[in-house]
Amino acid sequence: MLSRTADSLYWLARYVERADFLARILDAAMRMASLPAGDGADGAEWDSAIAISDQREAFVAAYGAADEQSVRRFLAFDHANPSSIRSCLSNARNNARAVRTALTSEVWEAVNDAWNQFNLMDEKGMDMQAFARFIEWTKAAARSFDGAVHRTQLRNDGYAFLRLGAAIERADNTARILDVKYHMLLPASEPVGGGLDYFQWSTILREVSAHTAYRWVYRESIKPWLVADLLILNRQMPRSLASCSADITGQLDQLGQAYGRRGAAQRAATATLGRLTSLRIEQIFQSGLHEFVTAFIDENARLSNVIAEQYLM
Amino acid sequence: MTAAFDEMFGAEGQVDGAPRSAYAALDKWMKASPPEFFDARRRQAELFFRRIGITFAVYGEAESHERLIPFDIVPRIISGKEWRRLEQGLIQRAAVLNAFLQDVYGPGECVKAGIIPAGLVYGNSQYRVEMTRIRPPHDIYVHILGADLVRVGEDQFYVLEDNARTPSGVSYMLENREVMMRLFPELFARHRVAPVETYTDSLLATLRSVAPEGSSKDATAVVLTPGPYNSAFYEHSFLADKMGVELVEGSDLFVQDARVFMRTTEGPRRVDVIYRRVDDDFLDPLTFKPDSALGVPGLMAAYEAGAVTVVNAVGAGVADDKAVYTYMPDLVRFYTGKEAILPNVPTWRCRETDALAYVLDHLPELVVKEVNGSGGYGMLVGPTATRSEIEVFAHKLKTDPEGFIAQPTLALSTCPTFTEKGLQPRHVDLRPFVLTGSDQVRVTPGGLTRVALTEGSLVVNSSQGGGTKDTWVLDD
């Protein structure tokens, strides 16, 4: 397969995954903002959404202070923000168009329809309800893409590059939530467990669709260290760092087998997975949750570069 | 202008008259089917095309960036006997164009013999001096020829234009047939229509046959596109897909040690044949336009070393220049000793003083074309032009007579076509495709029929509101 084709497939999946993620952080921020004043609705949720999106500098330069309107605009609709939902859907569509023959018509239509429907939306006339519907629509568009890929794409190297892009992006996204909210998950010396903390932890779970999953897995009330365990090490949880890492490793193994050659990407992915498999959450807390997450984000970015060097250029 | 010859009803044709024999079964079937049936099928056809995704970007229309070319469901039918003559004419035409280019970049006999003026050849904007040093593998220059034919009477076909660079439209020929077979299976059961679906296999066989000496039997061919923003991108990806070869952009290829490779997920892979849909000027920034990002640096060096075949050859544009076209009957005689089977449309070369004077006097009845124009742009259709358009053209002609040719306004044949006013005659042309390989010449029976949808219009170009029809060659 042409390296450019593989590159487009990889980025197509990354952009769709990112659009879904942005919808989730906007959803979580809206929930936080709906808390009665004094219970935490101090505007910090909008700051936090910007921080998670990793676009703080660009945001401050363009908008100054973060509030509902500015954050909605910036993360969902802004042309100038290369990581807004608009930019993600547009980039996904451009990548899909460039490799149209490598996609089934179902996958192409999922991406193309998403972009066409996005363009029919009226940002200005969106009240809170309409915006909530838009958030749901974005998540549904991503699911429609995933479903089309799952149901129709040939399981060849192209499929592996789609899955790789999605998994790398997803790992990065989960790690970013942890990076911004890690302090809420630390075993605190001061009394925790107040209404606000609880709401914030459950918001983190909501951001990754894991509220129910948590109960299934731990059968306990929400404990911050267990939230961290679920999002980092639990292989049953499809957005955990360990799950993403297993997915990445599996796809790279497939490629290595299909091409009859393993390289730096396979070695790096296997090493990360090995570490995540043998670690326990207590060890992560001991050596520092923040340090762990920061190191993971860098490692994941390096892995993306290694994949690019080995296959995409 | 006299009444046009109608493909279905002949010279004296009327919609309710007796059809020509090739159309008899179609006519009977159409009369037996209720109008609602056709309305439904037309809507269905549009849906098919939207779904398949055939779109055509029209320059200058930012909004309708991806527009459908209108498709008409009434087929244009050519009898087997008519086709056999056209086929012979097309094969002769392709052979002469190739002989001409070999001569132009070689000994230059046609110029020495005074058949064609030296300036027109060596001063031509499409002439590529680099090609005097390069012999394309198997001495073939025009591997893919799209000749535009028009008909004015029962036995009168003319060649209106040769497209010897990168003729487009073949994807419509194939998709039109696909859609027709889905819409009207019963019609195909009543006719023996020669298949066109073999085109992409023929194209791949042709490309492989012209690979450089020493390439493997399964030579690697690629389609080189300028990218998704090109108006014909759909066709590029369609052809690559149907042939099962890679669709590459310039940045996917690189040249090392005068050999061409593509970048793949499994490392560099050698490329033997490039079917390029990129103009000469953009092929290699080291030789042509230095700022071109569409091409491949060093490609011409690999070409010169005989390590890659470029289809069609660089510099083939000299042969489809509209001024050179006017010499084709003489060139046919010169290279084959025979008369052209398919004649040219009588043409005035505005570069000649007498011709220019005649053209200027008769502008309202002539069609004037830019020598280097294409796609129906930069053209004057006298009978439908306004007085001021004619004045503008008269001025252009006086300032740059060498840049123009003029032809009589031909009564192009018509074919019944669905319009808002019901079934009406509309003017059509025909672009068949001729593939010249090192092993054989392959002509796909049929081609692309383009139809001018506006009443009375003679401009069939899709960029100017033309549509297409399926073209049937009967196996009778």
Least confident of B87-96, B100-109, B308-317, B417-426: B417-426
**A185 and A291 part of one domain:** yes
Res. B62: pLDDT tops 60: no
* Cα of B251 to nearest chain A Cα, Å: 9
User: Of residues A252 and A198, which shows the higher confidence score?
Assistant: A252
B239 Cβ under 8 Å from any chain A Cβ: no
Q: Among A120, A153, A186, where does a domain finish?
A: A153
Range of the domain at A300: 167-313
* Cα of B236 to nearest chain A Cα, Å: 11
Q: What is chain B's percent helix, strand, coil content, to nearest 5?
A: 35, 25, 40
Yes or no, beta carbons of A98 and B51 under 8 Å apart: no
Give the nearest chain B residue to A310 (CA atoms): B265
Chain B residues in contact with A4 by the CB 8 A cut-off are 248-249, 251-252, 263
A97 Cβ under 8 Å from any chain B Cβ: yes
Q: What mean pLDDT value characterizes chain B?
A: 90
* Cα of B52 to nearest chain A Cα, Å: 9
**A238 and A108 part of one domain:** no
pLDDT tens track for B382-414:
888 899 999 999 999 999 998 899 999 888 999
**A117 and A237 part of one domain:** no
Return the residue matching tokens 């903390």: A197
pLDDT score for B64: 41
Give the nearest chain A residue to B229 (CA atoms): A98
Chain A residues in contact with B241 by the CB 8 A cut-off are 101
**A87 and A138 part of one domain:** yes
Give the nearest chain A residue to B248 (CA atoms): A2
Share of chain B above pLDDT 90, in %: 72
In degrees, to the nearest 5, what angle opens at C-alpha B375 toward C-alphas B369 and B377?
50
Mean pLDDT of B276-281: 95
pLDDT score for B464: 74
Instruction: Establish if A159 belongs to a structural domain.
Output: no
Which residues, numbered 129 to 168 in chain A, qualify as contacts with chain B under a Cβ-Cβ cut-off of 8 Å?
157, 161
Return the residue matching tokens 């080995």: A310
Instruction: Establish if A161 belongs to a structural domain.
Output: no
Give the nearest chain A residue to B239 (CA atoms): A101
A312 Cβ under 8 Å from any chain B Cβ: yes
pLDDT score for A195: 63
Q: Which residues contact B172 (CB under 8 A, 6 or more apart)?
A: B54, B69, B235, B448, B468
Which residues pair with residue B415 across a beta bridge?
B426
Instruction: Establish if A301 belongs to a structural domain.
Output: yes
CB pairs under 8 A between A and B: 41
Mean pLDDT of A7-30: 95
User: Of residues B53 and A285, which shows the higher confidence score?
Assistant: A285
Residue B407 CA: distances (Å) to CA of A99, B64, B339, B370: 44, 33, 21, 12
CB B370, CB B447: distance < 8 Å: no
Cα gap B297→B302, rounded to integer Å: 10
Q: Report DSSP letters for B240-299, one per residue.
A: HHHHT-EEE-GGGEEEETTEEEEEETTEEEE--EEEE-S-GGGT-TTTS-TT-SSS-TTH
* Cα of A223 to nearest chain B Cα, Å: 45
**A210 and A271 part of one domain:** yes
**A148 and A183 part of one domain:** no
B55 Cβ under 8 Å from any chain A Cβ: no
A222 Cβ under 8 Å from any chain B Cβ: no
pLDDT tens track for A263-303:
999 999 999 999 999 999 999 988 888 899 999 999 999 99
Residue B89 has which token pair? 């004419």
Yes or no, beta carbons of A4 and B251 under 8 Å apart: yes
Interface confidence: ipTM more than 0.90? no
Q: Among A107, A123, A153, where does a domain finish?
A: A153
pLDDT tens track for A99-129:
888 899 899 999 999 999 999 998 888 998 9
Yes or no, beta carbons of A4 and B237 under 8 Å apart: no
pLDDT score for B59: 37
Cα gap B324→B96, rounded to integer Å: 13
**A5 and A135 part of one domain:** yes
User: Of residues A205 and B87, which shows the higher confidence score?
Assistant: B87
Total domains in chain A come to 2
**Torsion angle of C-alpha atoms A35, A38, A41, A47, degrees rounded to 10:** -150
Chain B residues in contact with A157 by the CB 8 A cut-off are 265
Yes or no, beta carbons of B264 and A1 under 8 Å apart: yes
3-class SS at B378? coil
* Cα of A299 to nearest chain B Cα, Å: 22
User: Of residues B203 and B43, which shows the higher confidence score?
Assistant: B203
Res. B183: pLDDT tops 70: yes
Q: Report DSSP letters for B308-374, one per residue.
A: -EEESPTTGGGGG-HHHHTTHHHHHHHHHSS--SSPBPP-EETTSHHHHHHHHHTGGGEEEEETT--
Instruction: Establish if A2 belongs to a structural domain.
Output: yes
Strands B221-224 and B246-248: parallel
**A6 and A95 part of one domain:** yes
Instruction: Establish if A119 belongs to a structural domain.
Output: yes
All domains of chain B, ordered by start, with CATH? 21-192+319-345+410-473 (no CATH), 213-307 (3.40.50.11290), 348-408 (3.30.1490.270)
**A13 and A141 part of one domain:** yes
pLDDT score for B2: 57
Yes or no, beta carbons of A4 and B247 under 8 Å apart: no
pLDDT score for A135: 95
Q: Among A93, A123, A153, where does a domain finish?
A: A153
**A30 and A148 part of one domain:** yes
Chain B residues in contact with A97 by the CB 8 A cut-off are 228
CB B469, CB B452: distance < 8 Å: no
Chain B residues in contact with A161 by the CB 8 A cut-off are 265
